[in-house]
Amino acid sequence: MNLKIAVLAGDGIGPEIIDQAIKVIDSVCRKKGHTTQYRKGLVGATAIDNTGNPYPEETHRICMESDAVLFGAIGDPRFDNDPRARVRPESGLLEMRKKLGLYANIRPVMTFPSLLHKSPLRKDLVEGADLVAIRELTGGIYFGKPQGRSEDGNTAYDTCVYHRYEIDRICRLAFDFAMKRRKKLTMVDKANVLATSRLWRETMQEIAPDYPDVELEYMFVDNAAMQIIQWPRRFDVLVTENMFGDILTDEASVITGSLGLLPSASIGLHTSVFEPIHGSYPQAAGKNIANPLATVLSAALMFEYAFNMKSEADLVRSAVEASMTEGVVTEDIDSSNATGTSEVGDWLAEWIEKQ
């Protein structure tokens, strides 16, 4: 099979971590008899510098003509402290999600036996934690209109908007995931305060009878934020709206002990995007110290969700587990005996070749 992959490395450490994922993809494909066709596109600050647009039309065309998108990271400190910047790198990410119809962000959160000691939570709390957070990605306060500031600049406003069809499709996807796992689904909202959350709950109650085998619970977001830390093993599949999902998935990421270990998939109407959950980490750019494992694990999700290649995905995950067991890891995991970014990629590719 020929895999057509759009490669959007982006900013900061993006190019470095993407390079390691490509090494792993190529190694798997050689072993399994697949071929790859990569097409590179500009996105984020790099795209602004070259085209003035954080998500150029040419990049969108490349994405639409590919089977999957492998994405690095977006963000540049030049834009962070400029409140009057007319265009920002992050707007490219929102534009990509909207144009590709990426309404669902899938974030697996699990612990690795060899890294339990790195979690800031006690071992007895996190050992065996294995959940999937499903975040609605194209609605809510990040996209709601009107949005802006008053003429005198002293008042700002954002609007949270959700339509029933947006809620219906993400909730049905969450039920489907729950059916393939432990058949437990938690919907997180703030229905005691927000009208949009009440629509979420109403829609979920209408859908639930179609999935009688799934145990469904509702939880307010403040309680969920507490329980993810207190008792992460209680969750199986969690579904929520855009902003709540953004916050909760970043919170849940600490369970593993490193942001550099968590992958994600964004799926929807057109080409799916696979990316690490961390940012562009500009302070580490070019230093060969960034952790590539989240990006490599995102490639595993790509094999599984975009190409329906479960054995290829499992081979990538086994390689990552082996690297951690053998201590072939970057400084965020082991500062006393760190391996460089590119060396981790080389080790993973070689390990796969030997299997």
Catalytic residues: 142, 190, 222, 246, 250
Backbone angles phi, psi at 113, to 5 degrees: -50, -35
Backbone angles phi, psi at 281, to 5 degrees: 40, 60
Question: Which ranges of 181-219 does DSSP label H, i.e. alpha helix?
Answer: 195-207
SS (H, E, C) 16-56: HHHHHHHHHHHHHHHHHCCEEEEEECCCCHHHHHHHCCCCC
Q: How would DSSP label each residue in 255-322?
A: GGS-GGG-EEEEESSS-EEEEESS---GGGTTTT-S--HHHHHHHHHIIIIIT--HHHHHHHHHHHHH
Strand bridging mode 184-189 / 215-220: parallel
Burial of 306 (0-12, 13-18, 19+ CB in 10 A): buried
Q: What is the DSSP letter of 319?
A: H
CA 87, 250, 269: angle at the middle one, nearest 5? 65
Strand bridging mode 156-157 / 35-40: unpaired
Tokens encoding 100: 């590709």
CA 324, 123, 180: angle at the middle one, nearest 5? 75
Contact 190, 168 (CB under 8 A): no
